[in-house]
């Protein structure tokens, strides 16, 4: 799990943080750079294809390696191919192609996450899950340091240092080195054993049923993409109208949100029609998609929507601020070495320390109290970045802010993972956890895409203050649920 955690953590910053510095180095505008954070939306929609990964066999690979290891190897090879594809394209010449590569990397990495989560659950008894998770998280954090500080150090070493001309070759070599580091995951996949699986429902259907189920997914995805592209020609007029009503930024966001919602509803309607026509087995669709949601709504009743709101907003302050963080450090005049050493390496240890603090606090005082503290700290520490934005670049000040922010972020994350684990039913662990982990990043990442535009409009200090304010609703939701869910206090 340590090595699989490394394999899972490596791609994240290469489509989120390190990529933003590469694009900024290439002269891409700040607002466009932050739009690239949407390439990681695959993590937010992974529950859509999680059932396919859980059920569909892969030709040759499944017979050779087994169900879990086959999908692990397939997704890891796809990650390496995506990194190599990005390394072979200069964003100055082909920004659209670079965006395609980033989306490919996000999709393949999210697929790997689905498989690793399922493997962790099936490979060990329940009393070993905490140990499995701890090893996974440690590997994940180490990989983030490699993909963050390591990638920046490599790019600098290959010739993309501060104050020098932009070097595509330097960044290309850095990304190829990261692709090589994915061999850790591949070797692990080939060495481990296939876990025992007790899902009898997987064997109830034949090859034709699986192919029809795959066809349902492909058809729905195609309808979504076509609708999304078709609506692009109408979104301009709608956006202009909404901007007059609710303002520039709010109008643009609402227009895109309506476009996304209409595309999703159209895809769902197409899928519903195929099920009604029995193109795919209704029983398979019910077991795969409907039953996990039905069980969750039945278990929590009227509190369900409040819980889902909390899941959707808890990390909003952190993710929105994080989308522009590396660009902010660069704009403030910090060197790549300072960013790598302070925000990536030193910040990593602060995050791990915060995670241990969150775990101890949760054991001693309960999950909901630690969740409340984490929400408060994660939001309020964004105000320190506003102070940093009006100060001269000094290493000690950056280190102090990073220490406070990452300690609070680690504490909040530990408490939140414990909370999500307590919400999950053992009968639907993989699907429900995929939904939670997807939902918790969807809205924040959509908003994060506009962070560069907001900074251009209001400046860094006001942006960081605003990113702290939007964390207040999550704080109120935690307090509300803490009073109305006594069971949650014993998680």
Q: For 70-88, how does the pLDDT look when each residue is reduced to its tens digit (9 = 90+)?
A: 999 999 999 999 999 999 9
Is 15:194 a contact under the CB 8 Å cutoff?
A: no
Residue 182 has what DSSP assignment? Answer: T
Q: Class of the 1-199 domain?
A: mainly alpha
With bands split at pLDDT 50, 70 and 90, how would you rate the model's confidence at 488? very low
Give the percent of the chain with pLDDT over 70: 87
Q: Is 351 exposed, middle or buried (0-12, 13-18, 19+ CB in 10 A)?
A: buried
**Rounded Cα gap, residues 296 and 425, in angstroms:** 8
The pLDDT value recorded for residue 430 is: 65
Say yes or no to pLDDT of 251 above 90. no
Q: Where are the domains of the chain?
A: 1-199, 206-280, 283-491
Say yes or no to pLDDT of 29 above 60. yes
Phi, psi (rounded to 5 degrees) for 193: -95, 160
Residue 441's closest CA among 353, 318, 357?
318
Looking from the CA of 135 toward its CB, the CA atoms found within 13 Å total: 12
Is 217:49 a contact under the CB 8 Å cutoff?
A: yes
Q: Does the fold of domain 283-491 match that of domain 1-199? A: yes
Give the model confidence (pLDDT) of 355-379 as tens digits. Answer: 778 777 877 787 788 888 888 988 8
Is 334:393 a contact under the CB 8 Å cutoff?
A: yes
Give the model confidence (pLDDT) of 293-313 as tens digits. Answer: 888 888 888 888 999 999 989
Alpha helices by DSSP H, listed for 277-315, are: 282-285, 291-300, 304-313
**Rounded Cα gap, residues 160 and 157, in angstroms:** 7
**Rounded Cα gap, residues 343 and 328, in angstroms:** 12
| Interval 335-352 mean pLDDT | 81
DSSP 3-state percent helix, strand, coil across the chain (nearest 5): 85, 0, 15
Q: Which CATH superfamily hosts domain 283-491?
A: MFS general substrate transporter like domains (1.20.1250.20)
| Interval 443-467 mean pLDDT | 84
**Contact residues for 189 (Cβ-Cβ < 8 A; gap 6+):** 4, 65, 69, 72, 73, 76
Which of 152-161, 376-385, 477-486 ranks highest by mean pLDDT? 376-385
Is 110:43 a contact under the CB 8 Å cutoff?
A: yes
Residue 83's closest CA among 22, 1, 156, 134?
22
């Amino acid at each position: 799990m340590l090595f699989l955690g490394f394999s899972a953590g490596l791609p994240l910053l290469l489509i989120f943080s390190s990529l933003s510095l590469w694009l900024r180095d290439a002269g891409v505008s700040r607002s466009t750079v932050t739009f690239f954070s949407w390439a990681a939306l695959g993590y937010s929609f992974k529950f859509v294809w999680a059932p396919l990964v859980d059920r569909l066999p892969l030709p040759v690979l499944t017979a050779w390696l087994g169900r879990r290891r086959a999908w692990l190897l397939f997704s890891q090879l796809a990650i390496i191919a995506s990194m190599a594809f990005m390394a072979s394209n200069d964003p100055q010449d082909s920004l659209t192609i670079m965006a395609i590569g980033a989306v490919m990397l996000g999709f393949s990495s999210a697929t790997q996450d689905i498989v690793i989560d399922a493997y962790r659950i099936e490979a060990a008894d329940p009393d070993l899950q905490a140990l499995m998770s701890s090893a996974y998280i440690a590997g994940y954090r180490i990989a983030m340091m490699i993909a963050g500080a390591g990638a920046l150090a490599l790019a600098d070493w290959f010739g993309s240092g501060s104050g020098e001309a932009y070097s595509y070759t330097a960044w290309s070599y850095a990304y190829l080195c990261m692709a090589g580091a994915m061999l850790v995951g591949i070797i692990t996949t080939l060495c481990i054993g296939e876990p025992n699986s007790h899902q009898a429902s997987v064997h109830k259907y034949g090859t034709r049923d699986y192919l029809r189920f795959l066809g349902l997914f492909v058809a729905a995805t195609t309808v979504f993409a076509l609708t999304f592209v078709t609506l692009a020609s109408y979104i301009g007029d709608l956006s202009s109208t909404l901007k007059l009503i609710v303002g520039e930024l709010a109008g643009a966001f609402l227009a895109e949100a309506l476009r996304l919602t209409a595309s999703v509803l159209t895809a769902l309607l197409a899928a519903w029609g195929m099920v009604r026509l029995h193109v795919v087995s209704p029983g398979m669709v019910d077991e795969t998609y409907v039953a996990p949601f039905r069980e969750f709504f039945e278990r929590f009743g009227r509190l369900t929507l409040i819980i889902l709101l909390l899941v959707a907003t808890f990390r909003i302050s952190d993710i929105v601020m994080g989308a522009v963080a590396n660009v902010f450090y660069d704009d403030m005049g910090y060197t790549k070495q300072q960013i790598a050493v302070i925000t990536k390496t030193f910040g990593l240890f602060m995050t791990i320390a915060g995670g241990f603090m969150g775990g101890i606090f949760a054991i001693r005082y309960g999950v909901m109290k630690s969740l409340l503290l984490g929400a408060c700290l994660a939001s309020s520490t964004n105000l320190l970045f506003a102070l940093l934005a009006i100060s001269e670049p000094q290493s000690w000040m950056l280190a102090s802010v990073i220490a406070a922010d990452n300690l609070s972020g680690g504490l909040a994350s530990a408490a939140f993972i414990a909370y999500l684990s307590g919400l999950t039913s053992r009968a639907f662990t993989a699907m429900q956890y995929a939904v939670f982990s997807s939902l918790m990043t969807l809205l924040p990442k959509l908003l994060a895409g506009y962070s560069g535009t907001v900074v251009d409009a209001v400046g860094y200090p006001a942006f960081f203050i605003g990113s702290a304010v939007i964390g207040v609703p999550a704080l109120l939701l935690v307090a509300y649920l803490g009073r109305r869910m006594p069971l949650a206090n014993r998680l």
